[in-house]
Amino acid sequence: MRLLIVEDDAPLASGLQRILEAEGHAVDVTARGEEAVLAASQEKFDLVILDIGLPQMDGFEVLRRLRAGPGGGGPMPVLVLTARDAVDDRVRGLDLGADDYMVKPFAMPELTARVRALLRRSQAHGGPRIAHGPLQLDTVARRAFLRNEPLELAAREWAVLEVLLARVEKIVSKEAIIQAVAGWGDELSPNAIEVYVSRLRSKLEPAGIKIRTVRGFGYMLEEYK
Amino acid sequence: MAGRSLRAHLLRMLLPPIAAALALGALVSYFPTTEPATHAYDQALVDIGLALGSHVRVMQTEYRFELPAAVEQVLRTDRFDSIYYRVMSPAGMEIAGDPGLPAPPGDAVAHDAQYNGAKVRVVSVQSPCGRSTCTVLVGETMVKRERLARELLLQSIFPELFIAIATLLIVWFGVKRGLRPLARLSDEIKSRSAGDLRPIDAAGAPEETQPLVSALNGLLTEVSAASRNQQRFLADAAHQLRTPLAGLRAHAELALAQPLPEASRAQVEQVHQATIRTARLANQLLALARAEPGARSTTSLVDLKSLAEGEADAWVHQALARDADLGFELAHAPVDGDAFLLREALANLVHNALEYSPRGARITVRTGRRYDGSAAPDSARKGGSAFLEVEDDGPGIPAAERARVLERFYRVPGTPGTGSGLGLAIVREIAASHGATLAINEGMGARGCRVAITFPHG
């Protein structure tokens, strides 16, 4: 994948570059907002990591111009970095079209996890297939495969799994799962969700796919190792 | 500064002159009333003098005074006073009466004098005798006159006294009422919270207090500008610190991802941990400064439940790294507060629970509303006291240490780890700045630690 880092602090920029290159990405770095806007207009990037506190043209302006460009910057996800924690900054960034938001300083594993999640999400937009380790979902044909063997999933199990797959390594509340599955007409209780999750577990855990329970909150589909 | 009371001062300035004016008024109205009365009594004496004068007989050069005893009896009889008389020839020789009754000096017709050891009023009457005139003096003791004067004085003093008391009351209440706008102004300022730097509403304040109000507003504007500048400085300082720390952390983690000799790995790990602690400390100092009374914070309606939900993902990952079982019991808990500070308070409590509990600890984050016995929980969606609490089953905080752990930079002796000792101090400051109470107790089954922040009844 091709990534663009827009960060004016040289040590941080080089650190990010090396970590993401170690993940197998091609990484370009610029310290100036104007250059980032120009580069994005001429070349295709799969993801932009954008610092808000840039000299001259700040990150908000860069984000506005990226999204105002032809095709709104396409599906290109933007991960915003900021040293400020004001809630307004966060809201403003997301309003301008940022896909995720991290406050400095952050742990590198968290950054790489978020980059992976954003790339997976934007790639999923392009294709009907979702992969998670040995699990593959064909969202058009609505067919699932585990270790290349067909996997039988009830409609609601499928819906719950889709919600969890969209947010790997992120905790998802039971309410959020109920909302995502609520299109099915009748009322769903949190207990019903527990039943679907336990069925999913019995089907997926033998293949090393783990769904963790977060007590009193919801579930998290762990990254496949 | 305990200054002099403006009211007492005003009363001190007003009352003596008013009292003096009233006393003077009493005197001025007293004398004119006694004058005609005195005059009437004098006229009665003159009449007696004229009657006595008509009893003088002129025989050649000799003057004889013939007064029947019965008439003298009548003349001298008075219910209250003794009456004296003295008849003198034109040449000034005594003819009859009480010799020694003092004559008015010079041309005066009447005077007050002493006679027989008493105060007397004496009038002098010129009475025709032959071709010349004799002088008749009539004197009278002062009993009647003094009684009349007393009565007149009393009669004039009662209305004066009434006016005096009425004036006093009017001044007393008038001053109190007149100072009421000042009292209102001080009430408005007193009822403010320490962080409320809005200008005072000058509408309705009397013209005389406008300079005071505008001076106060000027000061408030300056203070709030200074406070805003401080906020901006803190935000900038945080930015300046966090970016290099992010770089430092990135490189430390990069180095740790590479094969390193054991000794170097331990050192890089130290650098990595120090970086994380420094970043946390910078965050805490920022939070502490922002929770300081007077720091202008941005208040909005914050639901502690959504606040906890927003941070839950990060906490769960931290808990997983420590093998801790982090759970939630979240109910709606709306609070008027500063979202950044409340998040920081909650983050500090969760961090403490993770940091000081052994591996495999069970930690629970709760939010919600508590209802006292009077209101049924389901009676309304509003009301109740919002709370947030974090409970763990770790070693807990000994009861004797619970007050001290709230002090800045204090750590319980023998505590493992490398905390700064700021966490709970920050939580306490944040709770105080929201008018909330902080309580440290044992957890379930008298084990571990439960820290709860309870907000004022909503």
Report ipTM for this prediction.
Answer: 0.74
Residue finishing a domain among B142, B162, B182: B162
In terms of Cα–Cα distance, which of A114, A2, A10, A98 is closest to A50?
A98
- Which bin fits B130, alpha (ψ -120 to 50), beta or left (φ > 0)? left
- End-to-end Cα spacing for chain A: 21
Task: Let me know: does B433 contact B287? Beta carbons within 8 Å.
Answer: no
**B330 → chain A, closest CA residue:** A216
pLDDT of A100 = 87
User: What class is the A2-126 domain?
Assistant: alpha beta
**For residue B273, what is the nearest residue in chain A, using CA coordinates?**
A107
Q: Does residue B266 belong to any structural domain of this protein?
A: yes
In this prediction, residue B418 carries a pLDDT of: 65
Question: What pLDDT does A86 receive?
Answer: 61
Encode pLDDT of A84-115 as tens digits.
Answer: 766 666 677 777 888 888 888 888 888 998 89
Domain co-membership, B64 together with B87: yes
Structure confidence at residue B122 (pLDDT):
92
Residue ranges making up the domain that contains B226: 198-296
Name which of B242, B320, B339 is nearest A104 (Cβ-Cβ). B242
- Segments of chain A assigned to CATH 3.40.50.2300: 2-126
Q: Which residues of B touch A109 (CB under 8 A)?
A: 253
Mean pLDDT in residue range A179-187:
70
Of the three residues B296, B327, B353, the one that is the final residue of a domain is B296
Question: What pLDDT, on a 0 to 100 scale, did the predictor assign at position A1?
Answer: 83
Write the residue in B279, B325, B328 that is nearest to A105 by C-beta.
B279
Record: contact B238-A84, CB cut-off 8 A: yes
Least confident span in A58-67, A153-162, B280-289, B290-299: B290-299
User: Residue B235 has what pLDDT?
Assistant: 67
B73 plus B97 within the same structural domain = yes
The answer to whether residues B446 and B379 belong to one domain is yes
As a whole number, mean pLDDT of residues A111-136 equals 80
Residue A209 has pLDDT above 90, yes or no: yes
**A139-143, A186-190, B68-72, B400-404: the lowest-pLDDT one:** A186-190
Residue B342 lies in a domain: yes
Q: Do residues B358 and B283 both lie within one domain?
A: no
Q: How far is A223 from chain B (nearest CA, A)?
A: 12
pLDDT above 90: residue B279: no
**Of B250, B325, B330, Cβ closest to residue A12:** B250
Number of residue pairs across A and B with CB atoms under 8 Å?
A: 101
- Dihedral sign, Cα of residue A96, residue A169, residue B278, residue B352: positive
One-letter amino acid identity for A143? R
Instruction: Summarize pLDDT for B235-268 with one digit per residue, the tens.
Output: 677 768 888 999 999 999 999 988 989 889 999 9
Mean pLDDT of B284-298: 68
Domain A129-221 belongs in CATH node 1.10.10.10: yes
Flag if B327 and A16 touch (Cβ within 8 Å): no
pLDDT tens per residue, range B355-379: 888 888 999 999 999 886 554 555 4
pLDDT at residue number A6: 95
B151 and B242 part of one domain: no
B419-437 pLDDT, tens per residue? 767 788 889 989 988 889 9
* Chain A touched by B316 (CB under 8 Å): yes
Q: Is B322 on the interface with A (CB under 8 A)?
A: no
Q: B235 and A86: CB-CB below 8 Å?
A: yes
CA distance A133 to B324: 26
Residue B118 predicted with pLDDT over 70: yes
Asked if B176 reaches chain A (Cβ–Cβ under 8 Å), the answer is no
Residue B294 is classified by DSSP as: T
Task: Give the helix/strand (H/E) hosting B9.
Answer: helix B6-53
Contacts of B328 in chain A (CB under 8 A): 214-217
Do B272 and B388 fall within a single domain?
no
Model confidence at B417: pLDDT above 80: no
In terms of domains, do B39 and B113 share one? yes
Q: CB atoms < 10 A from the CB of A198, how many?
A: 12
**Same domain, yes or no: B250 and B365:** no
- Residue B178 included in any domain: no
Mind spelling out the 3-state secondary structure of chain A?
CEEEEECCCHHHHHHHHHHHHHCCCEEEEECCHHHHHHHHHHCCCCEEEEECCCCCCCHHHHHHHHHHCHHHHCCCCEEEEECCCCHHHHHHHHHCCCCEEEECCCCHHHHHHHHHHHHHHHHHHHCCEEEECCEEEECCCCEEEECCEEECCCHHHHHHHHHHHCCCCCEEEHHHHHHHHHHHCCCCCHHHHHHHHHHHHHHHHHHCCCEEEECCCEEEECCCC
Whole-angstrom distance, CA of residue B275 vs CA of residue B313: 22
Q: Does one domain contain both B245 and B316? A: no
Q: How many domains is chain B built from? A: 3
CB contacts, 8 Å: B320 with chain A: 212
Q: What is the pLDDT of residue B1?
A: 41
Measured between beta carbons, the chain A residues lying within 8 angstroms of B254 are 15, 18-19, 22, 108
Residues of A in contact with B329 (CB under 8 A): 216
Q: Do A220 and B316 touch (CB under 8 A)?
A: yes
pLDDT tens digits, one per residue of B300-337: 889 999 999 988 988 998 899 889 999 999 999 999 99
My answer on whether B216 and B83 are in the same domain is: no
Residue A204 pLDDT exceeds 90? yes
CATH code of B91's domain: 3.30.450
Residue where a domain stops, chosen among B272, B296, B320:
B296
Instruction: Write the DSSP string, A201-215.
Output: HHHHGGGT--EEEET
Phi, psi dihedrals of residue B123, rounded to the nearest 5°: -115, 155
Between B148 and B409, where is the model more confident?
A: B148
Whether residues B214 and B289 share a domain: the answer is yes
Q: Touching check for B244 and chain A: CB below 8 Å?
A: yes
Q: Give a yes or no: residue B1 inside a domain.
A: no
Q: How confident is the model at residue B149 (pLDDT cuts 50, 70, 90)?
A: confident
Run of H or E residues at A3 = strand A2-6
Residue of chain A nearest B324, judged by CA positions? A214
Separation between Cα atoms, residue B64 and residue B72, nearest integer Å: 15
pTM for the full predicted model: 0.61
- Rounded to whole angstroms, the Cα distance separating B450 from B389 reads 7
- Asked if residue B176 has pLDDT above 60, the reply is yes
